[in-house]
């Protein structure tokens, strides 16, 4: 199995691409603020899923990096709230994307609670 087969990765990638498309319509003055921030953190969720999956043999590392992915995912929620409050996105869009953020968070938390289901093993001290 490859990290791209993980449902959390697939949903995070889809969300990142949707955020990218949406952020193209943000005002020019937001380029180095909201636009860059929301694009960076949405993409970071994907990277923070892929990286530990390749090193899932090390359970503490796996869980730590998934925690980073969850943190970035939560940041997405904040940026979506700003985009809505600044009237760059519609209420329905915000609600739909926030539901995606919540679902990704649940998937990440499942992976952290049950790392062994993803091939991660607790390292014994020898």
pLDDT surpasses 70 at 126: no
**Can you list the domains of the chain with their CATH numbers?**
3-116 (1.20.1440.60)
**Each residue's pLDDT tens digit, 56-106:** 989 999 999 999 999 999 999 999 999 999 999 999 999 999 999 999 999
pLDDT score recorded for residue 120 = 82
pLDDT score recorded for residue 123 = 65
Q: pTM, whole model, 2 decimals? A: 0.92
User: pLDDT grade, residue 124 (50/70/90)?
Assistant: low
pLDDT surpasses 70 at 125: no
In order, the DSSP letters of 89-124 are S-HHHHHHHHHHHHHHHHHHHHHHH-GGGGT--PPP
Q: Name 81's Cβ contacts closer than 8 Å, sequence gap at least 6.
A: 94
Q: What is the 3-state secondary structure (H, E, C) of 12-56?
A: HHHHHHHHHHHHCCCCHHHHHHHHHHHHHHHHHHHHHHHHHHHCC
């Amino acid at each position: 199995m490859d990290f791209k087969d993980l449902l959390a990765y697939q949903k995070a990638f889809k969300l990142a691409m949707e955020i990218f498309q949406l952020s193209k319509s943000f005002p020019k003055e937001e380029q180095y603020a909201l636009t860059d921030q929301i694009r960076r953190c949405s993409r970071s969720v994907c990277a923070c899923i892929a990286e530990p999956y390749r090193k899932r043999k090390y359970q503490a590392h796996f869980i730590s990096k998934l925690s980073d992915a969850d943190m970035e995912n939560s940041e997405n929620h904040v940026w979506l709230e700003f985009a809505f409050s600044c009237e760059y996105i519609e209420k329905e869009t915000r609600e739909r994307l926030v539901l995606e953020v919540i679902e990704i968070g649940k998937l990440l938390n499942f992976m952290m609670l049950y790392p062994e289901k993803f091939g991660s093993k607790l390292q014994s001290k020898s």
